[in-house]
Structure 1
Amino acid sequence: MSEFSWLTVGRLVVDHPLFPVGLTLLAFQFALWLYRRSGWLVLQPVMVSMLLVVGTLLACGMDYATYREGAAPIAFLLGPVTIALAVPLYNNIKRIRLLAMPVLLTVLVGGTLTVMLTLLIAHSMGAQLPVLASLSGKSVTMPIAMLVAEQLGGLASLAAVFVMLTGVIGTALGPWLLGLFKVTHPAARGLSYGINAHAIGTARALEESSECGAFAALGMSLLGVISAVLLPLLMGWVLAGL
């Protein structure tokens, strides 16, 4: 087949309405295979698949707006997938009730310290308001982090990057740190994953056990709600003292 024909076929594939969906699924399946085959926690499927998608879009000359519109069906599934996290929560409801107060205190104290230390360290390194606002929600789920960042004067796209990096790094280092300090209780491990690595960490917690995944989902959900309500107030107080 001539070069012109190959280019024509390639352009037809890229211009097909299902190309963004197919690209996303293939990239994630390959990244998941690579993660399971290698066993390296650093090769998180979300990060690897994102790099594959970005590289392909650059090579094909497709802009993000077109890709996002074509991949809308996958984005729509995020809602049902998030709701499905209620299943492990329901299956472990008795354990959650017994540990309700420690969990709530952990999320409040841990979430507050995470935001304050992040802002203080970033400010000491010369970060300006847009970066600080974008960093403030790095430990919550991406939709909440992006909305909060915009409300505080930050950049939603930058907030999404920080959330992604936090999830990948937290999931990669979390098991090692928990093992180093001999944290073996499923509830403690799950809560740590959910608070520090949100959705990516919750996926990792579900690999360990149902109870671990339930507390990860609980920690992620509680921190997201609390952050959406209190983060603007907390960040305003911190910035006022800087």
Structure 2
Amino acid sequence: MSDLADSPVLLVALTLATYRLGCWIRDASGGHALAQPVLVAIVLTGAGVRLLDVDIATYARGTEVISFWLGAATVALAVPLHRQAARLKGFVVPLVVAIPVGAATSIVSVVLLARWTGAGEELVRTLSPKAATTPVSIALSETVGGIPSLTSVFAIAVGILGAVAGPAVLTLARITDRRSRGLAMGAVSHGVGASRALAEDETEGAFAGLAMGLTALATSLLLPLLLAVLL
């Protein structure tokens, strides 16, 4: 039984099945904000791994194939952007301004808030790259002296929170331009937010994918400089 539980085939099947169930729940609920497939998959996969008594290292090794294809899926976000390339006209300057300002705001706000609540310097450095997509935030956390594994948790949590609440917040703020909504979703909640934006509208999804990549780049450039000043 132990050998079966540790089987990569079983672990991959469990992960894919829980995500597919999450997609079904989202569709059955009419796209309810809380019915995010990633959130459902995390909860159910976590419960399954716990019941099977599989440690996290074994699960990570067994599902490496999913991690590999996630990279390809991220690159594939360029496809809807290519289809929407004409929508970039007149939007390049706002884009170039908004992405660095957004990345800087994310870093500065989380550092100041963490310091204000009494967090230690290591935790501050762990939190600082959370707006970048998860692989980039992990690498940045290691570079600046944070705890990479904990950074990944924060990055995923931020992504899910943004995907759940982001569209409603943008609507309350009366932001209706599909490009601006996608830009905000991708910059704040990276891959999960880009997936939610793509489900809402192809233009939103295209600009969310673009914002995700540019935010990761801007965060990589700004993080060491801002931490040197703030800490």
- The TM-score with structure 2 as length reference comes to 0.94
Q: What is the CA distance between 1:11 and its match in structure 2?
A: 4.4
Query: Unpaired segments of 5 or more residues in structure 2?
Result: none
Matched, 1:76 2:68: yes
Q: What are the residue-to-residue correspondences of 1:2-17 with 2, within 5 Å?
A: 10-11=1-2, 13-17=4-8
CA distance in 1, matches of 2:59, 2:102: 37
Aligned counterpart, 1:20: 11
Supply the RMSD in Å over aligned alpha carbons.
Answer: 1.4
- Divergent runs of 4+, >6 A: none
Q: What are the residue-to-residue correspondences of 1:90-101 with 2, within 5 Å?
A: 90-101=82-93
CA distance in 1, matches of 2:71, 2:111: 30
Aligned counterpart, 1:149: 141
Aligned counterpart, 1:228: 220
Query: Unpaired segments of 5 or more residues in structure 1?
Result: 1-9
> Identity of aligned pairs, percent?
35
CA distance in 2, matches of 1:61, 1:211: 43
Aligned counterpart, 1:113: 105
Q: What is the identity, as a one-letter code, of the residue corresponding to 1:235?
A: L
Matched, 1:181 2:170: no
Q: What is the CA distance between 1:193 and its match in structure 2?
A: 0.5
Q: What is the CA distance between 1:192 and its match in structure 2?
A: 0.8
Q: What is the CA distance between 1:72 and its match in structure 2?
A: 1.2
CA distance in 2, matches of 1:139, 1:45: 20
Aligned counterpart, 2:23: 32
Matched, 1:130 2:118: no
Contact 2:26-2:32 within 8 A present in 1 as well: yes
Could you say which structure has the greater relative contact order, defined with CA pairs below 8 angstroms and 6 or more residues apart? 2
Q: What is the CA distance between 1:97 and its match in structure 2?
A: 4.2
Contact 2:104-2:222 within 8 A present in 1 as well: no
- Deviation string 1:30-88 (CA, Å, 9 cap, x unpaired) is 12222222343123221221121122112111111111111111111012111111111
Contact 1:129-1:153 within 8 A present in 2 as well: no
Alignment partner of 2:8: what SS? coil
CA distance in 1, matches of 2:88, 2:136: 24
Alignment partner of 1:41: what SS? coil
- The TM-score with structure 1 as length reference comes to 0.90
